C-alpha cells in the first residue's frame, strides 16, 4: 500500500500545510510548474518524490525532471505530464500514446482546475490536483491524496489549502 500526495502548479510556493500533508504520505508526486527547485528539494527531504517539469519551469528544473514520467506504483501503470488535457480532448502531444498504450492512471496539471474523471473509452482514471501555489486564476488552492493498494486506486481525498 502506497499513500500518495499529488500536487501541481506550486509556482515556487511552499508552506507548512503542504509540508504537513507531505509528511503523512509515502510518496509525493508533482505534476509540473514547480517554479523553483527549493520546492522539490524541500519535499525530497521528507519523502520520495516523482515529478515532471511544466511550461513555466526553467532549464535547471528541466534537467532534474522529465516532461513525461511513466512508472509502475504497485500494480498501477501511472503517467504524469504537465499539459495533458482532459477526456476525451487530450493534448495532441499525448493523445496518440494514450490511445495506443493507455496507463491506468493519467495525471496532469496546468489548468489549475481540480478534476478527477474516469475515461470509459480508454479505461483509465484521469486526475488533475488543481494548483497549490498562489499564482494563477484559481480561487482555492488544492491537492489530492489517495492510496494505491496493489491494482486498486482508493481513498481519494481532496485537500483544500485555503484561498490563493
Per-residue pLDDT tens digits for 44-60: 999 999 999 999 999 99
Distances (CA, A) of 104 to 95, 122, 124, 140: 15, 9, 5, 28
92-131 pLDDT per residue, tens: 889 999 999 999 999 999 999 999 999 999 999 999 999 9
Neighbours of 26 (CB within 10 A): 14
Residue 10 has what pLDDT? 96
- Tell me the residue length of the chain: 164
139-157 pLDDT per residue, tens: 899 999 999 999 999 999 9
Indicate if the pLDDT at residue 136 is higher than 90. Answer: no
Residue 164 has what pLDDT? 79
Amino acid at each position: 500500500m502506497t499513500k500518495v500526495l499529488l500536487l501541481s502548479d506550486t509556482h515556487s510556493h511552499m508552506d507548512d500545510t503542504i509540508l504537513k500533508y507531505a509528511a503523512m504520505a509515502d510518496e509525493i508526486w508533482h505534476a509540473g510548474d514547480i517554479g523553483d527547485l527549493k520546492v522539490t528539494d524541500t519535499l525530497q527531504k521528507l519523502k520520495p518524490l516523482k515529478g515532471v517539469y511544466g511550461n513555466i519551469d526553467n532549464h535547471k528544473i528541466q534537467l532534474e525532471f522529465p516532461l513525461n514520467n511513466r512508472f509502475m506504483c504497485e500494480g498501477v501503470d501511472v503517467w504524469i505530464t504537465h499539459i495533458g488535457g482532459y477526456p476525451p480532448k487530450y493534448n495532441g502531444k499525448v493523445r496518440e500514446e494514450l490511445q495506443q498504450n493507455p496507463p491506468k492512471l493519467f495525471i496532469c496539471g496546468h489548468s489549475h482546475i481540480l478534476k478527477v474523471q474516469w475515461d470509459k473509452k480508454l479505461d483509465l482514471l484521469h486526475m488533475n490536483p488543481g494548483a497549490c501555489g498562489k499564482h494563477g486564476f484559481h480561487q482555492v488552492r488544492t491537492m489530492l491524496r489517495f492510496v494505491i493498494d496493489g491494482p486498486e486506486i482508493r481513498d481519494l481525498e481532496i485537500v483544500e489549502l485555503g484561498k490563493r
